[in-house]
Amino acid sequence: MHNTIETCSDATLLLGLEGLAVTRVERREDGHRVVHVITDDETARGCPACGVLATRVKECALTSPRDLCAGGEPITPLWHKRRWVCRERRCSRGSFTEQIGQVSAGMRTTGRLRRACGRAVVDGGRTVMQAARDHRLSWPVAMREVRAHAAQVLPDQPEPTTTIGIDEIRRGAPRWEVDPATGKYRLVADRWHVGFTDLSGDQGLLGQVEGRLSSVVAAWLSARSAEWKTAVTHVAIDMCQVFRSAIRTALPHAVIVVDHFHLVQLANAKLAELRRRLTWKMRGRRGRKGDPEFDHRRFLRSNAEDLAIEQRAVLERDLTRTGTYGRHILAGWHAKEKLRHLLALARTGPVRSQISHRLQAFYAWCADHAYLPELRTLAETITAWWPQIEAFIGTGITNAKSEGTNRVIKLEARCAYGFRNAVNQRLRSRCATTRASRNRAIPLKFEDPFCVPFGTLENGGREWSRSAERLTGWRSSGFVSLMESTVKITRTLRRLSVLAGLSAAMLGGVATAGHAAATSSVRVVQGAVVYIGTAGANNVNVFVSSGKINVTDSVAIAPGVGCQSVTAKQVSCNGILGGLSANLGAGNDTIRINAALVGGAAGEAGDDTFFGGTASGVSTITYIGGAGSDIVSFLNSTNAVDVNMDSSNNDGRFSDKDNVADDIEKVVGSRFDDLMFGDEKNNAFDGGLGRDTLRGYGGSDALVSRDGGSDTEIDCGEGGDSDNDTALVDRADPAAINCESVS
């Protein structure tokens, strides 16, 4: 193109600026590299005004547009360009300088430098100021490129989705000023952004609107396409009337779901209000160190199943000793736990009777303590939002993704030291919250197998294992085998409907029902502790000490693989998966499971007793009685229990996932307010202390509520003419119904 200067093709290819060719590269005394380039584009001599190709050079010009770094260091392209004379007489432009696509006329930066700056913010997570510094640009130029790149990668309209979440976030701190008339502070500005998040897909933040008004939220929803609105079936929110009103207006067909986190948060807030109010009433001051209710405020905020037995005992003892006010605070804590007990039914596939029973228990407790305004308000709030709460229990949908989105938005605002422009804030927030899903859509290509991120591998890491073996000769199959074993043993332990024969099978026939060993045996099989009891009366205790699962027995125990003897009757095992398989064998046996384990315990011939509800954590134990008259007792449980004879993992304390099999002849409750529901077979329930609800349903049932107190309900159930139901009740108990014999 009229250039006779020799160029370097390799250097030109390395520079990668289309339309320019490298003539030479020099390094100055300060170490800075200068790349001399000339125009290598035939169309560059076309007049920008008329398009006619020029043939006569007017003069030479020299420019140095800023470009991307090379080798981690900045370079300076020195462009030797020419000014051409336009040969078209009618053109208003007499002369012009050469320009290419990457460097337009008058620009002092290359297009790829500006675009890289925009990508660094939108896709890379850098702040605008940091990206501008890194690319040697001004803030306005960097922000312009951010808007341009965001317009390319962010869709104008969200894709259809089935479930969305709505949540608000403060745009900035509220502003106050002194009212000159009253001399008091008044709220001048309280700025909010309401966000819409895709809960069932990976679109992230779908959009935001400014202002926490029902009309604003409804307007955004109404502006979506008819296809999008029809696809939405569920909307998760917190207990905000503004959101509920907007959804009913714009999406009347959608089911509104209240997130359970905010319900528990409300219960904790009411408990804190109750504690502070009663402290003032009792002591005439705020709580401070040394006051039992103040010292135990962390216990009051904790979940019941997260408290150790000793912590629970200390909490109840100290508050009870405080007197009437302390007992009132304890009543507030029990109300919170009963609400959590109700919400724990989510994702368990509960039937309507289970929901109504736990809801009734919560309402009954609040009604018995209606003299506490905090509990009365809590119950009224649950009533006002019950359809949405019931939707959560039925679907298990939460607004956790919206909360996570808000966390990212807050982090983006902190990195930017706040925002003045609300439009820019919404744009930056959407870029930040959709970055992960957009980056996942970009395929990664690496030549080196070791560069493949572990999270992108398929087949449980086998491909990474093969790559490592090829390159290093080191076989990593042990890691993969551990992963596969973990999955297999976890599934196996949750499938314990035939546990009585499982232990012998896992031990490969070492001990069977008819094999009367001189001692019991314990070993570890695929990360789970397997106990085989000897024929005769065994008294077994399972607990965790120093990170190991310990088993004691009334007879000698022979340790197997993975276990070591502590004493002749105690064994310590490395059960890495927290699994337990206990076969008590023949005889009248007793087992106490005082650890949060997954698995089961099974008896054989004989009258066996299983004690549960004392683990510090979530228990997932299946109790199988076998032949004989067997009992599952929650007498020492740390919390109220809910027992349903439906062969499902929904028995035990609030958050436990125990399963009382239908071959258990009798269940004994705790000292708290228990719920016990039978089936069509013969059931025997002893409620123990507390205000219990006992229902037998079909069969000849035996219900015992004789504890010297008053229970909630005693119902033997409607059965056939051949049923012979009995009930032992106290004078203070409600009338027993559907029972043939009451005493």
What is the SS3 assignment for 230-275? Answer: HHCCEEEECCCHHHHHHHHHHCCCCEEEECHHHHHHHHHHHHHHHH
Give 551's strand partners: 542, 571
> SS3 breakdown of the chain: % helix, strand, coil, rounded to 5?
35, 25, 40
What mean pLDDT comes out for the span 207-223? 94
Q: Is the pLDDT of residue 739 over 90?
A: no
pTM of the model: 0.62
Cα–Cα distance measured from residue 634 to residue 668, given in angstroms and rounded to the nearest whole number: 6
Tokens of 489: 């043993």
Q: Report pLDDT for 298.
A: 95
pLDDT of residue 511: 39
Q: Indicate if 506 and 411 belong to the same structural domain.
A: no
| Burial of 62 per CB tally in 10 Å (0-12, 13-18, 19+) | exposed
What's the pLDDT tens digit per position in 22-37? 999 999 888 889 999 9
- Tell me whether residue 466 is in a domain: no
Q: Is residue 592 part of a domain?
A: yes
Judgement on whether residues 123 and 101 belong to the same structural domain of the protein? no
Question: Per residue in 572-592, pLDDT tens?
Answer: 988 766 788 888 888 899 999
Examine residue 277 and state whether it is found in any structural domain, yes or no: no
Residue 510 has a pLDDT of 37
Position 738 confidence tier, pLDDT thresholds 50, 70, 90:
confident
Burial class (CB in 10 A: 0-12, 13-18, 19+), 490: middle
Give every CB contact of residue 437 below 8 A, 6+ residues apart in sequence: 202, 203, 204
| Statement: residue 464 has pLDDT above 60 | no
Beta strands in 477-629 (DSSP E): 520-525, 528-532, 539-545, 548-552, 557-559, 563-567, 570-573, 579-583, 590-593, 598-602, 609-611, 620-624
Tell me how crowded residue 279 is: count the other CB atoms within 10 A of its CB: 20
- CA 736 from centroid of its chain's CA atoms: 44
Length of the chain: 743
| 271 in a structural domain | no
Higher pLDDT, 722 or 292: 292
Alpha carbons 603 and 540: distance in angstroms, whole number: 12
Beta bridge partners of 531: 522, 582
Quote the percentage of the chain above a pLDDT of 90: 46
How do strand 163-170 and strand 95-97 relate by DSSP bridges?
Answer: unpaired
Residues 295, 253 within the same domain: no
719-731 residue pLDDT tens: 665 678 888 888 8
**Of 327, 245, 333, 331, nearest to 297 (Cα)?**
333
Q: Are 337 and 331 in contact (CB under 8 A)?
A: no
Q: Is the pLDDT of residue 516 over 50?
A: no
Residues 596 and 670 in one domain: no
pLDDT confidence of residue 502:
41
3-state secondary structure labels for all residues of 292-314: HHHHCHHHHHCCHHHCCHHHHHH
d(CA 418, CA 431): 16
Q: How far apart are CA 516 and CA 591, in angstroms?
A: 19
The Cα–Cα gap between 701 and 241 comes to 47
Query: Residue 456's pLDDT is what?
Result: 39
Return the structure tokens found at 727: 């009930």
Strand (E) or helix (H) holding 403? helix 400-415
Q: What is the pLDDT of residue 633?
A: 92
Per-position b or e across 655-683, b if 16+ CB within 10 A of its CB: bbbbbbbebbbbbbbbbbbbbbbbbeebb
Q: Are 258 and 167 spatial neighbours (Cβ–Cβ below 8 Å)? A: no
- What band does 469 get if pLDDT is binned at 50, 70 and 90? very low
Q: What's the confidence (pLDDT) of residue 442?
A: 52
Name the strand (E) or helix (H) holding 83.
strand 75-85
pLDDT tens-place string over residues 34-80: 999 998 888 888 898 888 888 899 999 899 999 999 888 888 899 99
Residues 588 and 672 in one domain: no
Positions of E strands within 608-733:
609-611, 620-624, 631-633, 642-644, 659-660, 666-668, 675-677, 684-686, 693-695, 702-704, 713-715, 726-728
Q: Is 459 left (phi over 0), alpha (psi -120 to 50) or beta?
A: left
Q: Is the pLDDT of residue 503 over 80?
A: no
Sign of CA dihedral 405, 408, 412, 418: positive
Residues 44 and 75 in one domain: yes
List CB contacts of 317: < 8 A, sequence separation 6 or more: none
Q: Residue 272 pLDDT more than 80?
A: yes
pLDDT at 485 exceeding the cut of 50 = no
Same domain, 323 and 411: no
Mean pLDDT for the stretch of residues 84-106: 87
Q: What is the reported pLDDT for 576?
A: 62
Q: Is 423 helix (H, G, I), strand (E, B) or coil?
A: helix
pLDDT top residue among 356 and 51 = 356
The amino acid at 435: R
For the ranges 426-440, 456-470, 513-527, 680-694, the lowest mean pLDDT is seen at 456-470
User: How confident is the model over 694-701, as a mean pLDDT?
Assistant: 83
Write 217-224 long-range contacts (CB < 8 A, 24+). Answer: 217/166, 217/242, 217/243, 217/246, 217/247, 217/250, 218/245, 218/246, 218/249, 218/250, 220/194, 220/196, 221/196, 221/246, 221/247, 221/250, 221/251, 222/249, 222/250, 224/157, 224/158
Asked if residue 446 has pLDDT above 50, the reply is: no
Higher pLDDT, 475 or 559: 559
- Residue-wise pLDDT for 545-567, tens only, equals 888 899 999 899 999 888 999 99
Inside any domain, residue 654: yes
> Looking at 302-414, which runs of residues are DSSP E strands?
none
Place of tokens 């979506």: 224
Let me know whether 96 and 135 are in one domain: no
Cβ contact 705:687 at 8 Å = yes
Total Cβ atoms within 10 A of residue 150: 18
What is the domain range of residue 424? 163-175+188-259+401-437
The CA distance from 61 to 28, in Å, is 21
Angle at 422 between CA 421 and CA 425, to 5 degrees: 90
> 643 with 561, same domain?
no
Strand partners, 236: 165, 257
**Residue 414's domain is classified under what CATH number?**
3.30.420.10
Q: What is residue 487's predicted lDDT score, i.e. its pLDDT?
A: 40
Q: Are residues 367 and 326 in the same domain?
A: yes
pLDDT in tens, 237-247: 999 999 999 99
The per-residue pLDDT of the chain, averaged, comes to 84
For the segment 244-273, the average pLDDT, to the nearest whole number, is 97
Same-domain status, 531 and 583? yes
| Displacement of CA 340 from its chain's centroid (Å) | 17
How many domains does one find in the chain? 6
Cα(first)–Cα(last) distance of the chain, in Å?
112
How far, in Å, CA of 579 to CA of 526, rounded?
9
Answer with the residue of higher pLDDT: 716 or 160. Answer: 160
427 within some domain: yes
The residue written with tokens 């809960």 in the block is: 199
Question: Quick one: 35 and 66 in the same domain?
Answer: yes
The rounded distance, in Å, linking the Cα atoms of 41 and 501 is: 82
Please check whether residue 574 lies inside any domain of the structure: yes
pLDDT score of 242: 95
- Is residue 358 helix, strand or coil? helix
In a domain, 133, yes or no: yes
